Amino acid sequence: MFDSSMILPAFVVLTVLCGMHARIDVYGAFVRGAKEGLATLLQMLPYLCAMLTATALLRETGVLLRMETWLAPVLSALGLPGEIAPVALLRPLSGSAALAAVRDVLKTMGADSRAGRIACVISGASETVFFTGALYLGAAGLKRSGYAIPVAMIAYAVGMLAAGWMISP
Amino acid sequence: MNVIFCMMLLAGVVAAAISGGLNEAQAALLSGGTEAVSFCLSMAGAYAFFGGLLGVLRESGVTAEAARMMRAPMQRLFCFAPGEEAALDDICVNLSADLLGMGGAATPAGLSAMRKMAAAHAPGEPPSEAMLLFLTLNMCSVQLLPTTMIALRAAAGARNPADITLPTLTATGVSCAAAVLLCKFMSAGRKRRV
Protein backbone atom coordinates (compact mmCIF):
# COMPACT_ATOMS: atom_id res chain seq x y z
CA MET A 1 0.00 0.00 0.00
CA PHE A 2 1.30 3.45 -0.88
CA ASP A 3 2.01 5.60 2.15
CA SER A 4 2.25 9.35 1.67
CA SER A 5 4.68 9.68 4.56
CA MET A 6 7.21 7.92 2.30
CA ILE A 7 7.34 10.78 -0.20
CA LEU A 8 9.68 13.08 1.66
CA PRO A 9 12.15 10.46 2.95
CA ALA A 10 12.26 8.91 -0.53
CA PHE A 11 12.99 12.33 -2.02
CA VAL A 12 15.84 12.80 0.47
CA VAL A 13 17.36 9.40 -0.35
CA LEU A 14 17.10 10.10 -4.08
CA THR A 15 18.70 13.52 -3.70
CA VAL A 16 21.60 12.19 -1.64
CA LEU A 17 22.17 9.37 -4.15
CA CYS A 18 22.18 11.92 -7.00
CA GLY A 19 24.78 13.96 -5.16
CA MET A 20 26.95 10.91 -4.43
CA HIS A 21 26.66 9.75 -8.01
CA ALA A 22 27.78 13.16 -9.28
CA ARG A 23 30.65 13.04 -6.73
CA ILE A 24 29.87 16.49 -5.37
CA ASP A 25 30.28 17.81 -1.84
CA VAL A 26 26.72 16.99 -0.72
CA TYR A 27 27.12 18.65 2.66
CA GLY A 28 28.48 21.87 1.15
CA ALA A 29 25.78 21.93 -1.52
CA PHE A 30 23.09 21.40 1.14
CA VAL A 31 24.41 24.25 3.26
CA ARG A 32 24.65 26.61 0.29
CA GLY A 33 21.11 25.70 -0.74
CA ALA A 34 19.80 26.14 2.82
CA LYS A 35 21.38 29.58 2.90
CA GLU A 36 19.54 30.42 -0.30
CA GLY A 37 16.26 29.10 1.14
CA LEU A 38 16.65 31.28 4.22
CA ALA A 39 17.53 34.28 2.06
CA THR A 40 14.32 33.70 0.08
CA LEU A 41 12.34 33.60 3.31
CA LEU A 42 13.97 36.81 4.52
CA GLN A 43 13.15 38.43 1.18
CA MET A 44 9.52 37.40 1.66
CA LEU A 45 9.27 38.80 5.19
CA PRO A 46 8.49 42.48 4.39
CA TYR A 47 5.79 41.39 1.90
CA LEU A 48 4.36 39.01 4.49
CA CYS A 49 4.36 41.79 7.10
CA ALA A 50 2.29 43.95 4.76
CA MET A 51 -0.08 41.17 3.76
CA LEU A 52 -0.54 39.62 7.20
CA THR A 53 -1.34 43.07 8.57
CA ALA A 54 -3.93 43.59 5.83
CA THR A 55 -5.50 40.13 6.27
CA ALA A 56 -5.50 40.46 10.07
CA LEU A 57 -7.37 43.73 9.63
CA LEU A 58 -9.89 42.17 7.26
CA ARG A 59 -10.37 39.20 9.58
CA GLU A 60 -10.82 41.18 12.79
CA THR A 61 -13.22 43.66 11.19
CA GLY A 62 -15.41 40.90 9.76
CA VAL A 63 -14.78 41.68 6.08
CA LEU A 64 -13.36 38.20 5.45
CA LEU A 65 -16.43 36.67 7.09
CA ARG A 66 -18.67 38.59 4.71
CA MET A 67 -16.59 37.49 1.71
CA GLU A 68 -17.05 33.93 2.90
CA THR A 69 -20.81 34.25 3.18
CA TRP A 70 -20.96 35.60 -0.39
CA LEU A 71 -18.69 33.02 -1.91
CA ALA A 72 -19.62 30.04 0.27
CA PRO A 73 -22.78 29.05 -1.68
CA VAL A 74 -20.81 29.09 -4.95
CA LEU A 75 -18.00 27.06 -3.44
CA SER A 76 -20.25 24.53 -1.75
CA ALA A 77 -22.16 24.08 -5.02
CA LEU A 78 -18.80 23.01 -6.43
CA GLY A 79 -18.15 20.68 -3.48
CA LEU A 80 -15.65 22.95 -1.73
CA PRO A 81 -15.81 24.20 1.89
CA GLY A 82 -16.78 27.87 2.26
CA GLU A 83 -13.91 28.58 4.67
CA ILE A 84 -11.41 28.58 1.81
CA ALA A 85 -13.09 31.58 0.12
CA PRO A 86 -10.31 34.05 1.06
CA VAL A 87 -7.66 31.65 -0.26
CA ALA A 88 -9.55 31.07 -3.51
CA LEU A 89 -9.96 34.84 -4.01
CA LEU A 90 -6.45 35.94 -3.07
CA ARG A 91 -4.37 33.18 -4.66
CA PRO A 92 -4.38 34.55 -8.26
CA LEU A 93 -3.62 38.04 -6.94
CA SER A 94 -0.85 37.70 -4.42
CA GLY A 95 1.31 34.84 -3.16
CA SER A 96 1.95 36.35 0.26
CA ALA A 97 -1.70 37.31 0.80
CA ALA A 98 -2.75 33.76 -0.13
CA LEU A 99 -0.10 32.33 2.19
CA ALA A 100 -1.49 34.48 5.00
CA ALA A 101 -5.02 33.28 4.18
CA VAL A 102 -3.99 29.60 4.11
CA ARG A 103 -2.31 30.05 7.47
CA ASP A 104 -5.56 31.50 8.82
CA VAL A 105 -7.54 28.50 7.56
CA LEU A 106 -5.04 26.07 9.12
CA LYS A 107 -5.22 27.96 12.39
CA THR A 108 -9.01 28.23 12.67
CA MET A 109 -10.04 24.92 11.06
CA GLY A 110 -7.03 22.79 12.05
CA ALA A 111 -4.07 21.65 9.96
CA ASP A 112 -5.62 18.25 9.23
CA SER A 113 -9.16 19.47 8.51
CA ARG A 114 -10.63 19.06 5.04
CA ALA A 115 -10.77 22.85 4.54
CA GLY A 116 -7.14 23.19 5.63
CA ARG A 117 -5.93 20.47 3.30
CA ILE A 118 -7.92 21.81 0.36
CA ALA A 119 -6.58 25.32 1.00
CA CYS A 120 -3.03 23.92 0.88
CA VAL A 121 -3.65 21.93 -2.29
CA ILE A 122 -5.23 24.90 -4.10
CA SER A 123 -2.45 27.19 -3.03
CA GLY A 124 0.29 24.71 -3.90
CA ALA A 125 -1.23 23.83 -7.26
CA SER A 126 -1.60 27.37 -8.58
CA GLU A 127 0.35 30.52 -9.28
CA THR A 128 -0.15 34.26 -8.89
CA VAL A 129 -1.77 34.59 -12.32
CA PHE A 130 -1.90 38.38 -12.56
CA PHE A 131 1.56 39.05 -11.19
CA THR A 132 3.19 36.41 -13.41
CA GLY A 133 1.28 37.71 -16.42
CA ALA A 134 2.40 41.28 -15.81
CA LEU A 135 6.00 40.19 -15.25
CA TYR A 136 6.31 38.02 -18.37
CA LEU A 137 4.43 40.34 -20.69
CA GLY A 138 6.47 43.25 -19.38
CA ALA A 139 9.72 41.37 -20.06
CA ALA A 140 8.67 40.77 -23.67
CA GLY A 141 7.47 44.35 -24.08
CA LEU A 142 3.91 43.22 -24.85
CA LYS A 143 0.81 45.20 -24.04
CA ARG A 144 -1.80 42.62 -25.05
CA SER A 145 -2.16 39.31 -23.23
CA GLY A 146 -4.41 37.60 -25.79
CA TYR A 147 -6.36 34.75 -24.25
CA ALA A 148 -3.67 33.92 -21.64
CA ILE A 149 -5.40 35.32 -18.54
CA PRO A 150 -8.91 33.88 -19.12
CA VAL A 151 -7.33 30.51 -19.98
CA ALA A 152 -5.18 30.59 -16.84
CA MET A 153 -8.20 31.49 -14.68
CA ILE A 154 -10.25 28.62 -16.12
CA ALA A 155 -7.31 26.28 -15.50
CA TYR A 156 -7.17 27.61 -11.92
CA ALA A 157 -10.87 26.83 -11.42
CA VAL A 158 -10.35 23.34 -12.87
CA GLY A 159 -7.49 22.81 -10.39
CA MET A 160 -9.76 23.89 -7.52
CA LEU A 161 -12.45 21.43 -8.58
CA ALA A 162 -9.84 18.68 -8.77
CA ALA A 163 -8.67 19.56 -5.24
CA GLY A 164 -12.20 19.36 -3.86
CA TRP A 165 -12.84 16.11 -5.63
CA MET A 166 -9.63 14.43 -4.44
CA ILE A 167 -9.85 15.46 -0.79
CA SER A 168 -13.14 13.84 0.07
CA PRO A 169 -15.05 14.83 3.21
CA MET B 1 -0.45 44.54 -6.09
CA ASN B 2 -0.54 48.14 -5.00
CA VAL B 3 -4.27 48.40 -5.67
CA ILE B 4 -5.04 45.16 -3.79
CA PHE B 5 -3.08 46.24 -0.73
CA CYS B 6 -4.73 49.67 -0.60
CA MET B 7 -8.18 48.14 -1.10
CA MET B 8 -7.60 45.62 1.70
CA LEU B 9 -6.51 48.29 4.17
CA LEU B 10 -9.25 50.76 3.22
CA ALA B 11 -11.98 48.10 3.19
CA GLY B 12 -10.87 46.92 6.61
CA VAL B 13 -10.82 50.35 8.22
CA VAL B 14 -14.09 51.45 6.60
CA ALA B 15 -15.82 48.24 7.70
CA ALA B 16 -14.47 48.76 11.21
CA ALA B 17 -15.71 52.37 11.28
CA ILE B 18 -19.20 51.31 10.13
CA SER B 19 -19.57 48.40 12.54
CA GLY B 20 -17.86 50.23 15.42
CA GLY B 21 -14.97 47.79 15.63
CA LEU B 22 -12.14 50.32 15.51
CA ASN B 23 -10.59 48.82 18.64
CA GLU B 24 -10.25 45.43 16.98
CA ALA B 25 -8.90 47.14 13.86
CA GLN B 26 -6.20 48.88 15.87
CA ALA B 27 -5.18 45.64 17.57
CA ALA B 28 -5.04 43.84 14.21
CA LEU B 29 -2.92 46.55 12.61
CA LEU B 30 -0.40 46.46 15.43
CA SER B 31 -0.17 42.66 15.66
CA GLY B 32 -0.03 41.85 11.94
CA GLY B 33 3.70 42.48 11.60
CA THR B 34 4.51 40.45 14.70
CA GLU B 35 2.47 37.60 13.28
CA ALA B 36 4.50 37.76 10.05
CA VAL B 37 7.81 37.59 11.90
CA SER B 38 6.84 34.61 14.08
CA PHE B 39 5.26 32.92 11.06
CA CYS B 40 8.52 33.26 9.10
CA LEU B 41 10.51 31.91 12.04
CA SER B 42 8.19 28.91 12.38
CA MET B 43 8.75 28.06 8.70
CA ALA B 44 12.48 28.86 8.60
CA GLY B 45 13.72 25.36 9.47
CA ALA B 46 11.66 23.57 6.82
CA TYR B 47 12.55 26.24 4.26
CA ALA B 48 16.26 25.83 4.89
CA PHE B 49 15.85 22.06 4.63
CA PHE B 50 14.15 22.22 1.22
CA GLY B 51 16.63 24.85 0.07
CA GLY B 52 19.41 22.47 1.04
CA LEU B 53 17.91 19.53 -0.88
CA LEU B 54 17.46 21.71 -3.96
CA GLY B 55 21.04 22.92 -3.62
CA VAL B 56 22.24 19.30 -3.73
CA LEU B 57 20.09 18.59 -6.78
CA ARG B 58 21.34 21.68 -8.58
CA GLU B 59 25.01 21.01 -7.90
CA SER B 60 24.60 17.36 -8.91
CA GLY B 61 23.53 18.57 -12.34
CA VAL B 62 20.02 17.11 -12.05
CA THR B 63 18.46 20.41 -13.13
CA ALA B 64 20.60 20.66 -16.25
CA GLU B 65 19.85 17.01 -17.07
CA ALA B 66 16.10 17.58 -16.65
CA ALA B 67 16.27 20.58 -18.96
CA ARG B 68 18.12 18.51 -21.57
CA MET B 69 15.54 15.70 -21.43
CA MET B 70 12.70 18.14 -21.99
CA ARG B 71 14.04 19.55 -25.26
CA ALA B 72 12.38 17.16 -27.71
CA PRO B 73 8.89 17.06 -26.14
CA MET B 74 8.91 20.84 -25.68
CA GLN B 75 9.80 21.42 -29.33
CA ARG B 76 6.69 19.46 -30.29
CA LEU B 77 4.40 21.04 -27.70
CA PHE B 78 5.12 24.66 -28.54
CA CYS B 79 4.77 24.73 -32.37
CA PHE B 80 7.29 27.59 -32.60
CA ALA B 81 6.91 30.31 -35.20
CA PRO B 82 10.09 30.84 -37.27
CA GLY B 83 12.84 32.37 -35.12
CA GLU B 84 11.21 31.43 -31.82
CA GLU B 85 13.19 28.19 -31.33
CA ALA B 86 16.00 30.36 -29.98
CA ALA B 87 14.07 30.35 -26.70
CA LEU B 88 13.89 26.54 -26.43
CA ASP B 89 16.82 26.19 -24.00
CA ASP B 90 15.49 28.90 -21.71
CA ILE B 91 12.02 27.34 -21.83
CA CYS B 92 13.43 23.97 -20.74
CA VAL B 93 15.45 25.52 -17.91
CA ASN B 94 12.39 27.51 -16.80
CA LEU B 95 9.98 24.57 -16.78
CA SER B 96 12.38 22.11 -15.14
CA ALA B 97 13.32 24.64 -12.45
CA ASP B 98 9.61 25.24 -11.84
CA LEU B 99 9.07 21.49 -11.60
CA LEU B 100 11.76 21.16 -8.95
CA GLY B 101 10.44 24.17 -7.04
CA MET B 102 13.34 26.50 -7.76
CA GLY B 103 11.38 29.66 -8.41
CA GLY B 104 14.52 31.75 -8.17
CA ALA B 105 16.09 29.97 -11.15
CA ALA B 106 12.85 29.67 -13.10
CA THR B 107 11.93 33.33 -13.38
CA PRO B 108 15.10 34.72 -15.05
CA ALA B 109 15.08 31.89 -17.60
CA GLY B 110 11.36 32.41 -18.23
CA LEU B 111 11.75 36.14 -18.78
CA SER B 112 14.67 35.58 -21.10
CA ALA B 113 12.62 33.02 -23.06
CA MET B 114 9.80 35.55 -23.47
CA ARG B 115 12.27 38.18 -24.70
CA LYS B 116 13.81 35.78 -27.22
CA MET B 117 10.41 34.79 -28.58
CA ALA B 118 9.34 38.42 -28.79
CA ALA B 119 12.54 39.23 -30.69
CA ALA B 120 11.35 36.91 -33.49
CA HIS B 121 8.38 39.20 -34.13
CA ALA B 122 7.91 42.81 -35.14
CA PRO B 123 7.35 45.14 -32.17
CA GLY B 124 3.67 45.80 -31.54
CA GLU B 125 2.60 42.43 -32.94
CA PRO B 126 0.17 40.49 -30.71
CA PRO B 127 1.77 37.61 -28.73
CA SER B 128 2.27 34.41 -30.74
CA GLU B 129 0.76 31.00 -30.03
CA ALA B 130 3.98 29.72 -28.44
CA MET B 131 4.34 32.82 -26.28
CA LEU B 132 0.78 32.55 -24.99
CA LEU B 133 1.17 28.85 -24.22
CA PHE B 134 4.44 29.46 -22.37
CA LEU B 135 2.91 32.34 -20.43
CA THR B 136 -0.15 30.27 -19.51
CA LEU B 137 2.00 27.35 -18.32
CA ASN B 138 3.89 29.74 -16.08
CA MET B 139 0.60 31.05 -14.71
CA CYS B 140 -0.31 27.50 -13.60
CA SER B 141 2.37 26.33 -11.24
CA VAL B 142 4.02 23.02 -12.18
CA GLN B 143 5.75 21.70 -9.08
CA LEU B 144 6.67 18.17 -8.03
CA LEU B 145 6.97 18.88 -4.32
CA PRO B 146 4.84 21.71 -2.84
CA THR B 147 7.61 22.77 -0.46
CA THR B 148 6.05 25.97 0.89
CA MET B 149 2.77 24.24 1.70
CA ILE B 150 4.58 21.34 3.40
CA ALA B 151 6.56 23.83 5.49
CA LEU B 152 3.36 25.70 6.33
CA ARG B 153 1.57 22.50 7.36
CA ALA B 154 4.54 21.40 9.46
CA ALA B 155 4.49 24.78 11.24
CA ALA B 156 0.73 24.36 11.85
CA GLY B 157 1.28 20.95 13.46
CA ALA B 158 -0.19 18.68 10.79
CA ARG B 159 0.07 14.95 11.49
CA ASN B 160 1.75 14.28 8.14
CA PRO B 161 2.70 17.59 6.48
CA ALA B 162 3.66 15.98 3.16
CA ASP B 163 0.36 14.12 2.65
CA ILE B 164 -0.91 16.86 0.34
CA THR B 165 1.83 16.11 -2.22
CA LEU B 166 -0.12 13.70 -4.41
CA PRO B 167 -3.39 15.69 -4.46
CA THR B 168 -1.41 18.87 -5.21
CA LEU B 169 0.48 17.18 -8.02
CA THR B 170 -2.76 15.85 -9.50
CA ALA B 171 -4.49 19.24 -9.20
CA THR B 172 -1.56 20.97 -10.91
CA GLY B 173 -1.47 18.31 -13.60
CA VAL B 174 -5.20 18.63 -14.28
CA SER B 175 -5.06 22.41 -14.38
CA CYS B 176 -1.98 22.46 -16.65
CA ALA B 177 -3.58 19.96 -18.99
CA ALA B 178 -6.68 22.15 -19.09
CA ALA B 179 -4.48 25.18 -19.85
CA VAL B 180 -2.66 23.46 -22.73
CA LEU B 181 -5.89 22.13 -24.24
CA LEU B 182 -7.59 25.54 -23.97
CA CYS B 183 -4.57 27.27 -25.52
CA LYS B 184 -4.51 24.83 -28.43
CA PHE B 185 -8.27 25.22 -28.83
CA MET B 186 -8.08 29.02 -28.80
CA SER B 187 -5.22 29.19 -31.27
CA ALA B 188 -7.03 26.80 -33.60
CA GLY B 189 -10.04 29.12 -33.42
CA ARG B 190 -7.85 32.12 -34.09
CA LYS B 191 -6.36 30.52 -37.19
CA ARG B 192 -9.78 29.68 -38.59
CA ARG B 193 -10.93 33.28 -38.24
CA VAL B 194 -7.90 34.69 -40.06
pLDDT, mean of each 10-residue run, chain A (169 residues) = 71 92 94 88 83 86 84 88 90 86 92 94 91 84 86 94 87
| Residue A141 domain boundaries | 46-166
**How far does the CA of residue A48 sit from the closest CA of chain B (Å)?**
6
Does B154 reside within a domain? yes
Contacts of B191 in chain A (CB under 8 A): none
Does B8 reside within a domain? no
Contact assignment for A30 to B56 by CB distance below 8 Å: yes
pLDDT digits (tens, 9 = 90+) for B95-145: 988 888 777 778 888 988 998 999 998 887 888 999 999 999 999 877 888
**How far does the CA of residue A67 sit from the closest CA of chain B (Å)?**
12
pLDDT digits (tens, 9 = 90+) for A4-53: 677 788 889 999 999 999 999 999 999 998 998 888 788 878 888 888 88
Dihedral over alpha carbons A155, A161, A167, A168 (to 10 degrees): -170
Question: Chain A within 8 Å of B87 (Cβ-Cβ)?
Answer: no
| Residue B51 domain boundaries | 44-193
**How far does the CA of residue A9 sit from the closest CA of chain B (Å)?**
10
Count of structural domains, chain B: 1
Does A23 reside within a domain? no
Interface test with A, best of B42, B58, B60 (most A CBs within 10 A): B60
Give the angle B58-B36-A112 at the CA atoms, nearest 5°. Answer: 75
Residues 76-115 on A with a CB inside 8 Å of B are 93-94, 97, 99-100, 102-103, 106-107, 111-112
Interface test with A, best of B30, B149, B166, B191 (most A CBs within 10 A): B149
At residue B132, the pLDDT reads 93
Q: Are B58 and B93 in contact (CB under 8 A)?
A: no
Does A50 reside within a domain? yes
Q: Which of A60, A66, A112 sits opposite B27 (nearest CB)?
A: A60
Does A40 reside within a domain? no
Does B33 reside within a domain? no
ipTM score assigned to the predicted complex: 0.82
Does B11 reside within a domain? no
Contact assignment for B19 to A61 by CB distance below 8 Å: yes
Does A117 reside within a domain? yes
Count of structural domains, chain A: 1
